[in-house]
Amino acid sequence: MTDRWRVFANLATLANALLGIGAILYILAGNKLWAMLLITSAIGFDGLDGLLSRRSRSPGTSFGRIADSIADAITFGVAPAFLIAVHTSDPGVWQPVETFAVVLAAAYLTAAVARLAYFTMRAYQRSDFLGIPTPQSALAVVVAILFHDTPAFQSAQPVGLFVGVAVLALWMVLPIPYPKIRRGSPLRWPMVATAVAAGISLVLLQFHPAMGSFLYTLALLASYALLIGVASYYLLGPFTVKRSSPEV
């Protein structure tokens, strides 16, 4: 008899991949705001996949791990790389540095695929992550884009974006332990608040509110809350990991 929880988990994985593909298409169409909303929505399906898998009575399979990693590579690797490389707003600012953007996008994608490959082959048995997981990295890229590209809350700043992306790519492959956000994790509710802040900001920005308007201010405040939440995971996450985690 087919385990329904495993089927639901596979459907969540598929939804993750489809949202990633949709995000890429929106980026190519010149709508980064919708793309970022799809990427952040996919993080929820990625978490749901894990939750449903843990409820399943049947053991996990290599196929499930590979499918999950492929979906993550699309949504949290390829789509953020497109966010970094493709610039359809403020072309006068971005075109002179287009080559640097493409190189850094390739570096980010390489780091994301490398850590996903390592996780799929060996690190899936750990109770924590080694290096920043790709969903958190993608969320950090979304924050960087919001402040330095679209809608450029701090003005369009290629140098700031590129430095941030280089750090994010390196952080994914550094052997620093980071927690999985599950029940009992001290960062669980802060990360829930971070997800809510991301949703509020990106939904409000779909209406393209005028600078200084109430909706714009609310979106800006939510973006700062998103920034604080992402930074808290990066900086505080290693201190919440139990040191008894097995080495793989």
> What domains are defined for the chain?
4-240 (1.20.120)
Q: Which residues of 5-29 are buried (b: 16+ CB within 10 A; e: fewer)?
A: bbebbbebbebbbbbbebbbebbee
**Amino acid in position 184:** G
Digit-coded pLDDT (tens) for 76-121: 999 999 999 999 888 889 999 999 999 999 999 999 999 999 988 8
Alpha-carbon dihedral 237, 123, 145, 157, rounded to 10 degrees: 80
Q: What is the pTM of this model?
A: 0.93
**Amino acid in position 191:** M
Identify the DSSP state of 178. Answer: E
Q: In terms of C-beta density within 10 A (0-12 exposed, 13-18 middle, 19 or more buried), how is residue 154 classed? A: exposed
Handedness of CA 40, 105, 86, 120 (dihedral sign): negative
pLDDT attached to residue 78: 98
Cα–Cα dist 16/157, whole Å: 30
Query: Is-contact 72 116, C-beta < 8 A?
Result: yes
Query: Is-contact 96 148, C-beta < 8 A?
Result: no
pLDDT attached to residue 245: 43
pLDDT attached to residue 199: 95
Q: Is the pLDDT of residue 1 over 90?
A: no
